[in-house]
Amino acid sequence: MASKKNGAAARPSSIEKERRLCSVKLSEAERVARGDEMADCEVKIEGLKAEQSELARQVKTHAKRRNELGHSLDTGTEQRELLCEWVPDYPKNVFRLTRPDTKEVVDTRPMSATDLNHELFPTNGAVAAPPPPPRLPRKRGRPASTTTTTTDPTPDAAA
């Protein structure tokens, strides 16, 4: 170590160095390279966002199924699609939707006039023709028939 003179600190024998981030002007080639790298980063970000979205959808689907299974385990039942049948109850003018397994009534709906008349006038499996459209009233002053007849001037060969 160097000796002190007049209370001054001793000077180090070598110069210390330290790394620091400083702004440096880029060359044109470096700017192009940085632009390409930035575009690559943008493509990767978009790809990861798409993956993240797909993963979030899968997580949501599995969470929903997990909740359904938990509910089934808690209650000992689950929702299933059954082919139910509408059964008429004519004294009460309603149809009752019944389950095929327990015959329990699931839903009811009132009968329409068509439903009530169907039993009075069965079609025996044939599909009934739709009713004709309502007739419009004729305007006064017009003839009832607007068709014209023409005669063929040539004699009939088969006659």
**Cross-strand partners of 88:** 95
Say whether 109 sits in a helix, a strand or coil.
strand
Q: Which of 2-11, 33-42, 54-63 has the lowest mean pLDDT?
A: 2-11
**Rounded average pLDDT over 51-62:** 96
Domain boundary assignment for the chain: 27-79, 85-120
Does the structure show a pLDDT above 60 at 141?
Answer: no
**Rounded average pLDDT over 100-118:** 87
Q: Which of 69-78, 95-104, 141-150 has the lowest mean pLDDT?
A: 141-150
Per-residue confidence (pLDDT) for residue 14, from 0 to 100: 84
The whole-angstrom separation of Cα 37 and Cα 30 is 10
Amino acid occupying residue 59: V
At 113, is the pLDDT very low, low, confident or very high (cuts 50, 70, 90)? confident
Per-residue confidence (pLDDT) for residue 159, from 0 to 100: 41
Does the structure show a pLDDT above 50 at 57?
Answer: yes
